[in-house]
Structure 1
Amino acid sequence: MRVLVIGSGAREDAICKSLMKKTENDIFCAPGNVGMRLFNIKTINIAENDFAKLTDFVIEMGIDYTIVGPELPLNEGIVDYFEEKGLKIFGPNQKSAQIESSKLFSKNLMKAAHIPTALYKEFTDAKLANEELKKSKLPIVVKTDSLAGGKGVYIINDLVNGGRIIEELLIEHKYQTERIIIEEFLSGEEFSLMAFVQGDNLYPMPIAQDYKRKSDGDKGSNTGGMGAVCPVKNINQSIVSDAYENILKPFVKEMNRQGFDYTGVLYAGLILTDSGLKVIEFNVRFGDPETEVVIPRIKSNLSEVIFGLLNNEILDIEWKSKGTDLGVFVASQGYPEDPKVGNVIDSKKKFLNYSGEINFASIDEEDENLLTNGGRLFCIHAHADDLPEAQNNIYSFLDNIDTTNIFFRHDIGKNSISE
């Protein structure tokens, strides 16, 4: 098959490499990134929101179908645009993409489907939001009701910091915010459950656990994700079954009842609290960094799975049952607040010699070196018999990388019990 993957991050890198495991496939990525080219992924210099040029490329090259990685083109209606031209594309339409682009839209769907989530209130007025904050029990959570690349969620522990964040969001309109949600803080074990969805058909993937905080011990700022592990040994199968039966299935059923006609990946960010499972958020695409540790576990051919979904086929998807997949993200100094760009990371040769898989994101190149070109730079992946072996494989490599301009967490996988 000839497949186009849209996006430029480590998630898209992982998707491309999985598609390339069937050597007959011809895989392209638009716009892709410098690191992808090191591993022979064909990158196409077309922006992810340039729908006209993307469809021209698909038609010219005889692409069988397109996979959308990031949330922004989904929110801007790329699926609707492609389908109007009779082109096959894997991802939800613009109506369905509101599940991620609007927290309130998603909350209302959950309410209709009787799915447990945090108690919340919405605000467009900063003064009223601050009044709510002052009478709330801390910690409490403030979320922008817009896309923010995984960074629009704040855990508020003091009123001064909370007031500053409300001002940033509702007065300065950070992340183009016009509305926020203030919701109760949920405490418990978090995990992610993704599923392939085509109408009434729902195919769950293995669960993963990502690590959002910047620093070891879950300290520091919220990020887009500093790493992930799959499987999650401290979440047992009965909990996963509960999540599938009582959260994913009712949500998909409610979407269908409301006429969404959903095709794509549905992501549920879940938390196991003292009072049971609750939803933190729903997203409408592959998670990042979860994809980097989940997709390597698929035994079925990914290109055939997605082709089957686009053609309304009933599928039997196989996954690896043994071993551990671990991913550790490396980020630029200053991330997430002010990532430094244009700094040398290390030589290309060193990365080419890694025995596992590297999924590249925001990097550039100069001569024989790789440079920082954004916040999260690349994800180092390892598959091993158990968690300690996977950690050793990754950190043995990272400990030999120059950390002058970069950093990474040293404890990814820490609360996933090894075999």
Structure 2
Amino acid sequence: MKVLVIGSGAREHAIAHALLRGGSVEQVTVAPGNPGMEKDGIKTTRLSESNHAALIDFVKDNGYDWVFVGPEVPLIEGIVDDFQAAGIPAFGPSKAAAQIEGSKDFAKRLMERHGIPTAAYRTFEDLASAKAYVAEHGAPIVIKADGLAAGKGVTVAMDVETADAALEDIFVDHRFGSAGAKVVVEDFLEGQEFSLMSFVNGTDFWPMPISQDHKRAYDGDKGPNTGGMGAYSPVPQIGEDVVRAAVDTIVRPTVEAMAEEGTPFTGILYAGLIATADGPKVIEFNARFGDPETEVVLPRLTSDLGAGIKAILDGGTPDFTWAADGATLGVVLASDGYPTDVVKGAHVPDIPVDDDAHVYYAGVAAGQEPGELVASSGRVLFVEVSAPTIKAAQDKVYGILDGLDVTGMFYRHDIGAKALAASGGEA
């Protein structure tokens, strides 16, 4: 099969790499992709993910069998609807179903109607009423821009002053543009967060192994929220009973609710969850693979990704199998200043890897010299390692990163620390 993947980041690199590894897909092209992907024999084409008409023509003219849509923006803009209208199979939710990510208010209302466990919330469309609610409610409290904000629209405010500043960022400074036309204000939840992604086709779904992302920019969960600075899988401090409860009380009722309300979901449903004393609860839903979770979950897939997705597109039953043991762990290398004042242009070093390690490229561009890459965005690349344990994976990935000249870039040094703390360093 020939497959076109839409997107440009490390997530799409991981998807394309997994498709080729499976065997049934012989050629993958990523639009627009990035030059780092080409190191893995992945083709790229500089078509914008927002140019739906050009992408449709490209698929038809070049004989691609189907399309995988990676990022949230084209999904929310209705790219799957447009492909399907042109007779092209595309894996991802419709524009209507993608609202589960495109509007936090939509997602919260859906959960409220169907009794799906999540934090209590209120939605506001003006600064004064939102501030009045925060003053009455008190802190800690969570402030979320309603629309898409590239993973940066959430503030966990431990005091009222921080909450007020976040609200002013959204309503006065318009930091997130139209994404901040509404604000969801949520109760603060205590517990460990984890990510549960599932392949979905209507009311049928196939869960993946869970993972844990690290959102804060700096070691010790300090600094601003980012799109993610690293991840690992499995998550030994989250018990199987918690995962089963999440499937039964969150994933299943959510896909059934979407179908019941006339917006059936097909694609990847990402549930960002927190294990509270009252059981797992939803922090957020995404309508696609998480980033960087994809880069540590897909390496654990032991079946053919392309064959599984093709089965779903054909209305059949896919076969997804996962490694029963071992661990994967990865770390983001980011440009200085990320996520607020990104300093681009750093030289990206060659990174030595072996069969148990991989580099997934994100914000890179071609440099002056042949084969040279330079940092062109906030998150530059992701180094992933597979090993028998989380500790072994952590040791290996930092052995790689600590030996590099990363002038102009930075990375966290504690990815996986929560798993090791929970297990006494034995995970």
Interval of TM-score (by shorter of Structure 1 and Structure 2): over 0.9
SS of residue in 2 equivalent to 1:72: helix
Displacement of 1:170 after TM fit?
1.3
Structure 2 residue aligned with 1:3: 3
**Superposed counterparts of 1:19-418, under 5 Å:** 19-23=19-23, 25-176=26-177, 177-346=180-349, 348=350, 350-351=351-352, 356-366=357-367, 367=369, 369-416=372-419, 417=423, 418=426
Q: Percent identity?
A: 44
Q: Deviations 1:354-390 (Å, cap 9, x if unpaired)?
A: 9611010001232154311111111100000111211
SS of residue in 2 equivalent to 1:225: coil
CA distance in 2, matches of 1:79, 1:102: 18
- Which one is further off, 167-176 or 80-89? 167-176
Matched residue type, 2:280: L
SS of residue in 1 equivalent to 2:294: helix
Q: Deviations 1:233-291 (Å, cap 9, x if unpaired)?
A: 11111111111011100111111111212110101011011222111011110011110
Q: Deviations 1:276-313 (Å, cap 9, x if unpaired)?
A: 21110111100111100111111110000000010110
CA distance in 2, matches of 1:369, 1:185: 45
CA distance in 2, matches of 1:91, 1:291: 15
Q: Deviations 1:188-214 (Å, cap 9, x if unpaired)?
A: 011010000001211000011111111
8 A contact 2:141–2:163 mirrored in 1: no
**Number of aligned residues:** 417
After TM superposition, the score normalised by the length of structure 2 is: 0.95
Matched residue type, 1:193: L
Displacement of 1:40 after TM fit?
1.9
8 A contact 2:138–2:159 mirrored in 1: no
- Which one is further off, 402-411 or 240-249? 402-411
Displacement of 1:353 after TM fit?
7.3
SS of residue in 2 equivalent to 1:149: coil
CA distance in 2, matches of 1:343, 1:218: 25
Q: Deviations 1:78-122 (Å, cap 9, x if unpaired)?
A: 011011111100000000011001001001111122111111111
CA distance in 1, matches of 2:55, 2:194: 34
Pairwise CA RMSD of aligned residues? 1.4
CA distance in 1, matches of 2:275, 2:264: 29
CA distance in 2, matches of 1:228, 1:353: 20
Displacement of 1:218 after TM fit?
1.1
CA distance in 1, matches of 2:393, 2:141: 35
- Which one is further off, 110-119 or 94-103? 110-119
8 A contact 1:354–1:397 mirrored in 2: no
Using a 3 Å threshold, how does the CA distance of structure 1 residues 225 and 70 change in structure 2: closer, same or farther? same
SS of residue in 2 equivalent to 1:249: helix
Structure 2 residue aligned with 1:18: 18
Matched residue type, 1:155: V
SS of residue in 1 equivalent to 2:108: helix
Displacement of 1:403 after TM fit?
2.8
Matched residue type, 1:107: K
8 A contact 1:345–1:405 mirrored in 2: no
Unaligned runs of 5+ in 2: none
Q: Deviations 1:40-69 (Å, cap 9, x if unpaired)?
A: 210011001100110001001111100000
CA distance in 1, matches of 2:283, 2:258: 18
CA distance in 2, matches of 1:244, 1:163: 35
CA distance in 2, matches of 1:307, 1:355: 27
- Which one is further off, 139-148 or 252-261? 252-261
Matched residue type, 2:141: I
Displacement of 1:163 after TM fit?
2.3
8 A contact 1:201–1:314 mirrored in 2: no
Unaligned runs of 5+ in 1: none
CA distance in 1, matches of 2:282, 2:240: 18
CA distance in 1, matches of 2:20, 2:101: 29
SS of residue in 2 equivalent to 1:415: helix
- Which one is further off, 206-215 or 128-137? 128-137
CA distance in 1, matches of 2:62, 2:382: 30
